[in-house]
Amino acid sequence: MRTGDQVVQDLPWRWRVQGKIFIIGGLGYMFDAWDVALNGFLTPLLGLEFGLSTGQRGLVATANLIGMAIGAVAFGTIADRMGRKKVFSITLLIFALFSVLGALSPNWEIFLLLRFIAGLGLGGCIPVDYAIVSEFSPRKLRGKILSAMDGWWPIGATMAGVSATLLVPVEGNWRWMLALMVLPALLLFWVRRGVPESPIYLARTGREAEAREVIDDMVARTGATPEPYVITAAAPEATTSGKKGLSAIGEQLKMVWAFSPRITGVAWSLFISVMVVYYAALSWMPSILRSQGMDEVAAFASTTIMNAVGILGVITSVLLVERVGRKWVIGVAAPLAAFSLVLFSLVMESAAASIATIAVFGFFALVVIPVMYAYVSELYPTELRASGFGWASSSSRAVTGFVPLIFGTLLWPVLGLPLTFTVMALLVVAAVIFMALCAPETKGMELDRITGTEQQVDHPAGGGTVSDEAVEKR
């Protein structure tokens, strides 16, 4: 007899069922992109209004990204212990509330504090969004669906660029840029209240009756043939621990590394190297282009082109992810994205060449990031999925949070752009090689049937493999 997990993962795709969750989850991710991309546009404007130095300007993005790093860890852990649904809404509400307050900031110091708190909420959105969407998605389409989730990123980043470009001539422009995000974010918070709890999470935490209710409803609404199924036993790690607060977060980190040091090492190295490159470009590109003589409108518009081209990158990732596999897409697109910035730094004296090369970067960056997010969310079991993804995301946010500051005060002025981007590109190549050697391909495999160990045997239920050690534990 099959398990409830397998029933959910083999249901046909229906836009009114799984598609609704994909859209609601994706819209939250869109606001993450909007907010992060906005840092690059806010930096020069706040610098002018408050008379900030280059280092102080770097803190504009740093405060927000560090908040996201902490939020990803905290809310990823909470989601694995309290459930996806509650955290799904709370994180977005925190972001919306403190974004409004940020727009009313009387000075730079209060602005940084409020951006940090807004980042806490927004950082918690991504791991929870990806966990809940992956757990509702059919196994055969999961790679495409999770890659398509990143299609919301260039949409949000482009909206940030368009709104910023249009608001440049308006008095108090940066305040209106922040305020513009809030109303749709609050509307989305209201809509998210109707999303059901993940049936896989309910099953893993021993809430069998609730899991069966959600699964039976999904079977009926997708038109699938009803069949008997069993609910797998609750995972001891997720149900027996009574720790709270920092102890719970620390315990979850230990569990993430204990599950598989190699998989967690690969996840962290990919996130850190790829996102360092991406956030460095996103946070400083308007300022770099301004340093080459472009006015604010032209610099903002050029950066918006970089984000908009990313939509084509996401479409390409969706088309490739189930054809060639996650590892091939990441292994090729990540180095190409990184080295396109090296090329940009060599030709940026030409406005046309610089715009063309940052467009190439925007394309390849948004080929690799969607697949990387899908890949990492698949590598962990249900009881660790949100926290495993959250810790990987947090590791990158923690590092990239200081990149805007270090980039503006040390890397760019001391090393120069060509050498800075070359070092970043080499780190990406190293992470890709690590992934190729130490992590499994997840294409077409069932969630909770994926491991990074070398000895693997066929799982009796089909649809993937598990290690000999994992079979013994089950």
- How is residue 277 written in tokens? 């490159």
Q: What is the phi-psi region of residue 51: left when phi exceeds 0, alpha when psi lies from -120 to 50, beta otherwise? A: left
Paired with 466 in beta bridges are 457
Nearest residue to 150 via CA among 461, 374, 398: 374
410 pLDDT band (50/70/90 cuts)? confident
CA-to-CA distance for 309 and 364, rounded, in angstroms?
9
pLDDT tier at 400 (50, 70, 90 boundaries)?
Answer: confident
Mean pLDDT on 61-67: 81
Q: Which of these ranges, 33-37, 103-107, 404-408, has the smallest mean pLDDT?
A: 404-408
DSSP 454: S
Quick one: pLDDT at residue 238? 43
| pTM assigned to the model | 0.68
Q: Name the least confident of 51-60, 163-172, 272-281, 356-365.
A: 51-60
Q: Is 206 exposed, middle or buried (0-12, 13-18, 19+ CB in 10 A)?
A: middle
For the chain, the C-alpha Rg in angstroms (whole number) is: 22
The maximal CA–CA distance of the chain, rounded, in angstroms, is 68
- Write down the pLDDT at residue 471: 28
pLDDT greater than 80 at residue 340: yes
- Predicted confidence (pLDDT) at residue 239 exceeds the cutoff of 50: no
Answer for the pair 454, 466: CB distance below 8 angstroms, yes or no: no
pLDDT at residue 249 greater than cutoff 90: no
Query: Is the pLDDT score of 122 beyond 50?
Result: yes
- DSSP three-state, residue 231: coil
Mean pLDDT, rounded, for 5-14: 89
Superfamily the domain 4-443 falls into: MFS general substrate transporter like domains (1.20.1250.20)
**456: confidence class by pLDDT, cuts 50, 70, 90:** very low
